[in-house]
Amino acid sequence: MAEFTMELNDEQREVRDWLHGFAADVIRPAAAEWDEREETPWPVIQEAAKVGIYSLDFYAQQYFDPTGLGIPMAMEELFWGDAGIALSIVGTGLAAVGVLANGTEEQIGTWIPQMYGDQTDVKVAAFCSSEPDAGSDVASMRTRAVYDEAADEWVINGTKTWATNGGIAGVHVVVASVDPELGSKGHASFIVPPGTAGLAQGQKFKKHGIRASHTAEVILDHVRVPGSCLLGGKEKLDERLARAREKAKAAGGERVKNAAMATFEASRPAVGAMAVGTARAAYEVALDYARTREQFGRPIIDNQGVAFQLADMRTQIDAARLLVWRASWMAVNGRPFTAAEGSMSKLFASETAKKVTAQAIQILGGNGYTREYPVERMHRDSAIYTIFEGTSEIQRLVIARTLAGMTIR
């Protein structure tokens, strides 16, 4: 087990500086344009692919960093550049992790390379879980997958929403219910290959922030996929469902508790790191502005009211990073989240991003409210962190239930 440390090693510092350079030189100059266009920034993704950032190899290297700091460090630097473009770059990772976590070796080797494409033909992938009536309440999922034994195919019907890259992706990973009576225990994940009939993009959402990231509904109308597209295979699924039914029966028919919330707990620090990156970016703009903007014959940072705001902003950012890094280290090293440390990190970092970006606008005054300065965009982008991957209210619920000794469900 790697010891917890706040010191990056030489290799990590080299990667951090490389990512920071890409964020400064490639992402930031393009941020305002793609925010206004509200389109996927394909040229930036292609540049990321050319240098090796948009690739399975890079993501895997950071994911398997024994210190746990690879992913949060990478997320912070990319989202320091711009949240919308960064989410377009890392969004495919959501689908890739879904396959890595649940797929067989053959499925991993077959589908994940197709998710990214290559430097000359870049692809993206989509992870489809949320539904119009099943966001935080994943047990209420209505998308159904029914096995056609004669054809050895699964038939999927339903509507997914809030899907990053939904509809424009080549490979879609879709979570569906195969046994509704078991709640979330009756869910399974499926690969929907490129060009599969019956899958279509629904509404594309026009969003308040992260507008360079494509978010849309995905409609599944009698989508047929081969039996081999069930992640993990049918034998493994049947065994899992049998165990779940026995537990439900032993519990007197009570609804099976939702283990998905416990699974999400381990991924939430990455979202916290995204929030830290956006907060840090806004703080740096505000700090530079306060040092150079003069009023009444002196820089405004000489005013205690401004200086104290900046002091609070920096303190909150550093505290958020500490929580994110602790939770990331715990997750990689198999340490249990006995106090919901994953949710703590996501909650505090998300709320910090909203607060810090709002303070940055205040420090810049009227300039901060215009699109000539980036803090206006950063403030809009920051709103998503308290919503996706579990709202702040859900994080508090998870933390409270954990402290009370209750099962996360």
Residues annotated as part of the active site: 389
User: What interhelical angle do 375-382 and 28-37 show, nearest 10?
Assistant: 60
Q: Are 49 and 116 in contact (CB under 8 A)?
A: yes
Q: Which two tokens stand for residue 134?
A: 């099943």
CA distances from 73 to 144, 322, 328, 359 (A): 38, 12, 10, 24
Angstrom distance (rounded) from CA 124 to CA 168: 8
Q: Which DSSP string do the residues of 315-371 spell out, in sequence order?
A: HHHHHHHHHHHHHHHHHHTT---TT-HHHHHHHHHHHHHHHHHHHHHHHHGGGGGST
**Could you tell me which residues are beta bridge partners of residue 73?**
none
For 164, the 3-state DSSP assignment is strand
Q: How many CA atoms lie within 13 A of 171 on its CB side?
A: 27
Q: Which DSSP string do the residues of 21-79 spell out, in sequence order?
A: HHIIIIIHHHHHHHHHHTS--HHHHHHHHHHTSSSHHHHHHHHT-TTS-HHHHHHHHHH
Q: Identify residue 31 by its one-letter amino acid code.
A: A
CA distances from 132 to 145, 161, 332, 397 (A): 17, 6, 33, 21
Residue with tokens 């890094």: 325
Q: Are 240 and 347 in contact (CB under 8 A)?
A: no
Q: Please provide the distance, in angstroms rounded to a whole number, between the alpha carbons at the two ends of the chain.
A: 29
Nearest Cα to 126, choosing from 156, 100, 95?
95
